[in-house]
Amino acid sequence: MERKRFMISMSEEDVNCFEAGREAAGMNKSAYIRLLIAEHEKRVPGFIKYKDIIKEIADTNTLIKEVILIKGINDADKMVLLERLDIILEHLKKLT
């Protein structure tokens, strides 16, 4: 899905309220807006629903990349691992 930027104007009070809620939720602005929309529609967005698995796989992705660079495995095995990680990440993106 293509992402687009948009700009909104709010009073300073509304901005402060938004920022307080966003910080309390521990989210960036984009994620918090999507959460607010989802709550309005009474659904849980995928990026929250699958938050734990996404984090674990992303951490695994980082670890495997570190192992590839530090341990020095052969180029063919590196390519296979990196391709598999890309496939996993693409599937995760479809969930959100």
The per-residue pLDDT for range 46-60, each reduced to its tens digit, is: 666 777 777 878 888
**Mean pLDDT, rounded, for 66-88:** 79
Q: How far apart are CA 64 and CA 5, in angstroms?
A: 33
The per-residue pLDDT for range 79-92, each reduced to its tens digit, is: 877 888 888 888 77
Residue 41 is given by DSSP the state T
